[in-house]
Amino acid sequence: MTDLRFRGAVAPLRRPDLTLPRSVDALVARLRPEAPLHCLRPAAMEGAARAFLAAFPGETLYAVKCNPEPAVLRALWRGGVRRFDCASEGEVRLVRNMFAEAAIHFMHPVKSRSAIREAWQRHGVRDFVLDSAEELAKILAETGGGDQLGLVVRLALPKGGAMYDLSGKFGATPADAVALLRAARPHAATLGVSFHVGSQCLDPSAYARAIALAAQVIREAGVTVDLLDVGGGFPVAYPDVVPPPLSAFMAAIRAAVAAEGLSGLELWAEPGRALVAGGTSVVLQVQHRRRDTLFVNDGVYGALSDAGVPGFRFPVRLLRQSDAPLVAFSFFGPTCDSADHMKGPFLLPADAAEGDWIEVGQLGAYGAALRTAFNGFDRAGIAEVADPPLLETPGYELGKAA
């Protein structure tokens, strides 16, 4: 089994051992893993990418932060993704090293000067996001401007209903965005407006409201704007969460773009979660049981960060036959921190016990990417499997790879 050390999270990792069995059950029977085992489903990610690209009426940029694992990036590339939303020089280098022809867009509104310089000079990055006059000045100083520079003004949105609110940190107020568009226009070969409705957004109308706000800002600025970037946020299924189908989000976006008179603009989207969530499960081993709490070998400092404070529930299954009724379990992770707790509930057979393996699905998004080596628990294996995801998300079925 390939050992991963996620401290070098964006460093290229060794490829999974492709001689291993291609099903989770067979793998676990063969390896009997005592460290968490990441089971990648490249076909699912390739399929999700195909489905999104086919449905979205514009250019799709994969948000690399969501899962920078090279096998994931390769699967998305096979699915047709050619553009990448990067937020650090590490991500820019990773993508450029893997794909010489990729288009890389630097979509973090606050960048170091050296990151801007390196992206521009060494990696051919031409598009940069900003949400302040200071960042505009920084980008102009470090790139020298020129006739290829793309500038995208990130617009702040009011707090929305997404499971992961992203409204507090980045984005210019409408008034500031108007001023920034005017200031940026003379320097920009391409000028855009972007926003992010928040991650795991279940409401298609959130995109329509954001597009209406962007249109208002564009009208007020009175300058030509070339592109509109509707960000990420597209949701996936979790237990008891069935999101509206992808087509409902696309319909809302198309309708709002037309209604606001923005049809002449190039459209971009930056999905992360929607392309990769179903693409990884993690097999955990139970090390101890205390009543309805299972002590497992991965937790919130590992791939299950979202099961901690954010309270995401994930699909689970016990990897052995059991006729016991399903009961609600919570998990403790392996570290000594009592915050390493995942309340779930995770529905598993009542006889789950020490030594059992549990597969946790939908961990491809913000799972492996958020791992740490806290308390020395940074060992994990990786394998590629042909199993379908533990949960299917409506709208992505058509994109299944052949």
Ligand X SMILES: Cc1ncc(COP(=O)(O)O)c(C=O)c1O
Interaction site with ligand X (CB under 6 A): 63, 66, 85, 107, 166, 196, 199, 231-234, 270-274, 365
Point out the residue whose Cβ comes nearest to ligand X.
232
Q: Which residue's CB is nearer to ligand X, number 79 or number 272?
A: 272
Asked if 296 and 342 count as a contact pair (C-beta separation under 8 A), the reply is: no
Q: Which residue's CB is nearer to ligand X, number 171 or number 315?
A: 171
- As measured in angstroms, the least distance from the Cβ of 177 to ligand X is 15
Q: Which two tokens stand for residue 289?
A: 């049981």
Q: Cα separation of 138 and 117, whole Å?
A: 10
Q: Cα separation of 365 and 384, whole Å?
A: 16
Bridge partners (DSSP) listed for residue 383: 39
Q: Which residue's CB is nearer to ligand X, number 13 or number 61?
A: 61
Q: Which residue's CB is nearer to ligand X, number 106 or number 331?
A: 106
Q: Which residue's CB is nearer to ligand X, number 50 or number 196?
A: 196
CA 299 to centroid of chain Cα atoms: 19
SS3 255: helix
The residues, any chain, with a CB within 8 Å of residue 323's CB and separated by 6 or more, are 349
- As measured in angstroms, the least distance from the Cβ of 39 to ligand X is 20
- As measured in angstroms, the least distance from the Cβ of 271 to ligand X is 5
- As measured in angstroms, the least distance from the Cβ of 26 to ligand X is 31
Q: Which residue's CB is nearer to ligand X, number 247 or number 263?
A: 247
Strand-strand pairing, 59-63 and 266-269: parallel
SS3 30: helix
- As measured in angstroms, the least distance from the Cβ of 301 to ligand X is 20
Secondary structure element (H or E) that encloses residue 178, with its range: helix 174-184
- As measured in angstroms, the least distance from the Cβ of 272 to ligand X is 3
Return the axis-axis angle of helices 70-78 and 42-55, rounded to nearest 10°: 50
- As measured in angstroms, the least distance from the Cβ of 65 to ligand X is 6
Q: Which residue's CB is nearer to ligand X, number 128 or number 234?
A: 234
* Residue (of 97, 102, 63, 64) closest to 80 by Cα position: 102
Burial of 218 (0-12, 13-18, 19+ CB in 10 A): buried
